[in-house]
Structures are given as C-alpha cells and as structure tokens.
Amino acid sequence: MDLMTPEGGTIVWTAVTFVALAFILYKIGWKPILHMLEERELRIQESLDAAERAKDDARKIAEERQKQIDQARQEAHDIIHAARSSAEALREDIINNAQAEAEKLIERAKREISLSRDKAIHDMRDLAIELSMMATEKLIRQKLSKEEHDAMIHAAMEKIEQLN
C-alpha cells in the first residue's frame, strides 16, 4: 500500500465518515454555533450602535462647549468694550474737571494779583502823601534856601526810589 495513492474503499469510507460527521454536527453543533454567531453579531452591532451614540454625544458636547466658548468670548468682548467706554467717559470727566479747576485757579490768581497791585498803588500814594506832608511840615517850620529846597526834593526822590 502506497500512502500517496488512495484506494477505492478508503475513499468511500472517508466520504461516508465525512457525511455522517457533517450530519451529526448539523444536528448537534450547527444550531448552537449559529446561535453563538448570532449572539456575537448582536453584541458587535450593539457595540457599534453604542460607539455611534457615544460619537454623537461627544459631537454634541463639543458643539455645546464651542457655543459656550463663543458666548464667553462675546461676553468678554462686551465687558471689555463697556470698560473702555467707561474709562473713556471717566477720562473725559477728569480732564473737564481739571480744566475747570485750572481756570478757577487762574481767575483767583488774577484777582489776587489785581488786588496786590491796587494795594501797592494805594500804599505808594499814601507814602507819597506822607512824604509830601513831612516836606511841607519841614518847609513850614523853616524857611528854606534854594539849595536846601533842592536837597530836600532830591532826598525825598531818593527815598521814593528806595521804596520801589
């Protein structure tokens, strides 16, 4: 017997054994195997559906977060705009107040200068009157010569110049 060349009886018995084994597997194992494959297919389908739902949920969450980010950016922009507007208004108010205060100070300084000038003029008049009175008093008490008169006027002028 050669192992490489099959005999007719071996082929028949191999075929009969194969058919019998297939029939037994069909009756005993085929239904459980099909049932197991169907369950596996169902689990795979459920997993795919769950993955699809998770993907949709993740997409919805991402969209919601993006909306929240956009809303937060818009609110931040609005807050910044409002703060700038408020700061600009405050700046204008401060400038206006400072200008008004400066004008008040200038007016007050002008009034004080005017009052000081008027007082100085008044004081000089009083001094001139006093000097004239003193000179007149001296003249009345004594009779002056021309040289004495000139010397007195010259002395009075020097005294006036020293006061200025």
Q: How far apart are the first and last CA of the chain?
A: 158
d(CA 75, CA 126): 75
pTM of the model: 0.42
d(CA 156, CA 144): 15
Using the 8-state DSSP alphabet, how is residue 6 labeled? -
- Give the three-state DSSP class for 2: coil
pLDDT in tens, 113-156: 999 988 888 888 778 777 777 777 776 666 666 677 778 778 87
Domain ranges of the chain: 10-163
Residue ranges for the chain with pLDDT beneath 70: 1-4, 6, 139-146, 164
Using the 8-state DSSP alphabet, how is residue 52 labeled? H
